[in-house]
Structure 1
Amino acid sequence: MDVTTSSEILIVGAGCFGLSTAYHLLKRGFRRVTIVDRSSVIPAPDAASTDINKIVRSSYSDIYYARLAREAIAAWKDEKEWGDTYHESGVFCPLLGNDSYTDQAYVNDIALGARIENLENASAVRSVFPPGVKIGLPEEVTGYLNRDGGWAFAEEGVSRLMSKVLALGGQIIAGKQVVELLRANGSTTGVRCSDGTVFDADLIVLSAGSWTASSFPSLDLGQKCLATGQCVGLMQLTPEEGERYRKCPVYLDFNSGFYMFPPNADNVVKMAIHASGYTQMLPADGSTSPISTPRTIQSHGEQGLRIPRSALKELRQELAKVYPELAAKPFSWTRLCWYTDSPDDDWVIGPHPSDPKIMLATAGSGHAYKFLPVIGRVVADSIQGVLHPALIRKFAVDRQQNSHTVSRVGNQPRELELDQLCTPEDLLA
């Protein structure tokens, strides 16, 4: 369809994709851009983009993402735009030397001129961590530190971008859960919300994150935009411990999937395992197959935060390998953070095959947030029909699975077993 700057654009979802898309459309002169979000409070407390921190890295085995990440990092450094959202702690990656994802990422970082420190032995690795921090890595460890990276205070970044969208004349309306796509004469004309509100639009951009497939079962997105719960653990440090660990780089091991942040201002450290995660397959009206549906703090209260005991045990085991002193401390809380995964880790950006008036901008696959300042540019290019043909194919909803090395550990997500979720007692050391 032909979209002009006077077209009515409705974006479903006020997360990373939705906000960034609205921002870039408004910057290009679009005048009628509205975002609706299911949550009555935004940023939504259970959205993947609402978090204490997200990794900002350019270390990608795919050169496209590596380049785009460096553009995003350059944008993050503009303190006038982003304040202290971005913290350039550096990102440390252990190397295997066997043509792994990390090795390919290292080659791309070097080619793009990143500030890289090669760490060829255990002594060199330990030198990039503060002297008062005990590191438990094996003597044969090697790796590299990318100084051009670190972490972002995720919720602050989302809040700042919301303000930018509003300042440019966009609308953001909370508490509007879309339950139906409205059609007339063979094409989509708008949406109906659970409270009966109808929004008409010339183009509807679906950026509902891990709720995309279950909210729109008729679009058959269950495997293309699979909702997976990722296991996160958080630990409260003392002020003294916080100061000691604060200057650590982000630890990111693509081989095991384990990653961990330095303490934030509240002396909380977050860790997780970048893996295939968990699904919760539930029946969905309009679909012949069950669809993975998020289980979060908003749908299940405190129960929605709990992760499987086995995942909690794995987090502690991996923590002991890196920071053995912290492994003896209790976890403060956990979170099942829901991602939207594509089969090949590439995003889903483009029109739905059934109707060009429906645009998909989703499937962050666990690596979208770092691109918050720029990812909407890609979506806006797609909307305006100027996206490079190679990227149209790369991000197409109905593409064949792209072939490249993925960053996740594990082949298939596991189904969430509710009787195996951790209890408060499991959090103790």
Structure 2
Amino acid sequence: MKAKTTTAMAIQEKLTSYLIIGAGSFGASTALALKKAEPDAHITVIDRTPFPCPYAAAHDVNKICRGDYGDLMYMKLAIRSMESWTADPLYSRHFHNSGMLYAYDDAYLRTIIANWEAIYGEGNAPSHLLDLTDAKQRFGGIFENADWSAAERSLWSPQAERLKHSPVMALMATLPAESLPPGDDRVLKCMNDTGFSNNVYHEPSKQKLSIPPSKVSQLTWSQDMPQVLKDELRTIGQELHGGLLSKLVPTYYRMCWDGFTPNQDFIICAHPHAQNLYIVGGGSFHACEFLPVMGDIVVQMLRGELDGEMERRFAWDRPNDGHNSHFSTLQIEISVIYGVRRAFDRDST
């Protein structure tokens, strides 16, 4: 019996267990990748509510997956991720190829083209530049009356056999904005990509921290949003689609709260002081695009096999130069700029 007990204890010591806090894009992808890499491991995932958590940034309807990054590292990651989004049955049933039209400044669009050609060779970029007049006349003329006066050029990435709806739109004009085409639900989604902070004094750390409001209605789909933000979304809709939206009234709104790093690089690393504690976060409004590959990156980090550039850029103490999402999103204190502190009270109703 003693020998059997010793053997059982030895086996138990070899078994690995993981506790994952948060079941969003990072947590869910990590749990799946760990189970594939270590089938015998015991993995527990904890979240704020039963799955899916309606407060999570990943639980939304305005997720855009694209490869057009001005940053070459993220473009390569996006290509890997897109292979799963389009071919893996686990992900492809949730992915809709609509194509994407950018209306940005010329220099940024040329950077995207250069990155594509660095990967696929000169002249082989899957995206190409369009004159604004040409862009407005395409797609059945649905953007003919759109106000794109702030854009120099537009970039079209064909991803679908046939364009049944408008493409995803990204426009840098009065406000950084995006729009998703209506799917089978016939719901058009418009997004204001300006970033906000909601700073509240945190007594244990004696400093102000930006945290989401505690009111459930200000974390989920509702009408509970300051009027000034509703007005901005209406402006965005007009700039993107012209008079097509003049008679439409939004059914509901949502403010999407996410961990945002200074340069939109993720944090995927060991905690510098606590043993066996690892930080995976800082989604910065674009981690969801990499859901199929994010867990693999975490497993590589745990095994010490992370690519050198990723290890440096995803580290706890890395430099914060540059910006790596498609918008250089500003962090604006919402109560100061818009005077809506009373709208973001600490009521938990």
The one of 307, 313, 316 equivalent to 1:388 is 307
Structure 1 SS opposite 2:277: strand
Structure ranking higher on relative contact order (CA contacts 8 Å, 6+ apart): 1
Q: Specify the alignment match of 1:189 in structure 2.
A: none
1:163-205 deviations in whole A, cap 9, x for unaligned? xxxxxxxxxxxxxxxxxxxxxxxxxxxxxxxxxxxxxxxxxxx
Offset at residue 264 of structure 1 (A): 2.6
Q: How far apart in 1 are the matches of 2:203 and 2:153?
A: 51
Letter of the structure 2 residue corresponding to residue 32 of structure 1: H
Q: For residues 411 and 82 of structure 1, do their structure 2 counterparts lie closer, same or farther at Cα, with a shift above 3 Å needed? A: closer
Residues 1:144 and 2:155 are matched in the alignment = yes
CA contact (8 A) 2:84 2:92 kept: no
Offset at residue 343 of structure 1 (A): 0.8
Give the gaps of 5 or more residues in structure 1.
150-244, 423-429
Residues 1:105 and 2:112 are matched in the alignment = yes
Q: How far apart in 2 are the matches of 1:19 and 1:387?
A: 19
The one of 88, 94, 102 equivalent to 1:93 is 102
After TM superposition, list the pairs within 5 Å mapping 1:83-232 onto structure 2: 83-97=92-106, 99-100=107-108, 102-113=109-120, 114-122=125-133, 124-131=134-141, 134-138=144-148, 142-148=153-159
Please give the root-mean-square deviation of Cα atoms over the aligned residues, in Å. 2.8
After TM superposition, list the pairs within 5 Å mapping 1:241-252 onto structure 2: 247-252=165-170
Give the gaps of 5 or more residues in structure 2.
1-12, 345-349
Taking structure 1 as the reference length, what is the TM-score of the superposition? 0.67
- Taking only the aligned residue pairs, the percentage that are identical comes to 26
Higher mean C-alpha deviation, range 30-39 or range 133-142: 133-142
Q: Specify the alignment match of 1:378 in structure 2.
A: 297
CA contact (8 A) 2:334 2:340 kept: no
1:381-420 deviations in whole A, cap 9, x for unaligned? 1111111232111011122213356533554322344467
Q: Specify the alignment match of 2:201 in structure 1.
A: 283
Structure 2 SS opposite 1:340: coil
The one of 38, 41, 64 equivalent to 1:55 is 64
Q: Specify the alignment match of 2:43 in structure 1.
A: 33
Structure 1 SS opposite 2:202: coil
In terms of fraction of residues, the more strand-rich structure is 1
Q: How far apart in 1 are the matches of 2:143 and 2:327?
A: 28
Offset at residue 142 of structure 1 (A): 2.6
Q: For residues 283 and 81 of structure 1, do their structure 2 counterparts lie closer, same or farther at Cα, with a shift above 3 Å needed? A: same
Offset at residue 138 of structure 1 (A): 4.6
1:266-323 deviations in whole A, cap 9, x for unaligned? 2111111222x22222233521112222126637687986333333222222221221
In terms of fraction of residues, the more helix-rich structure is 2
Q: Specify the alignment match of 1:364 in structure 2.
A: 283
Structure 2 SS opposite 1:372: helix
Instruction: Say which one has the larger Rg.
Output: 2
The count of corresponding residues between Structure 1 and Structure 2 is: 319
Letter of the structure 2 residue corresponding to residue 326 of structure 1: L
CA contact (8 A) 2:91 2:292 kept: no
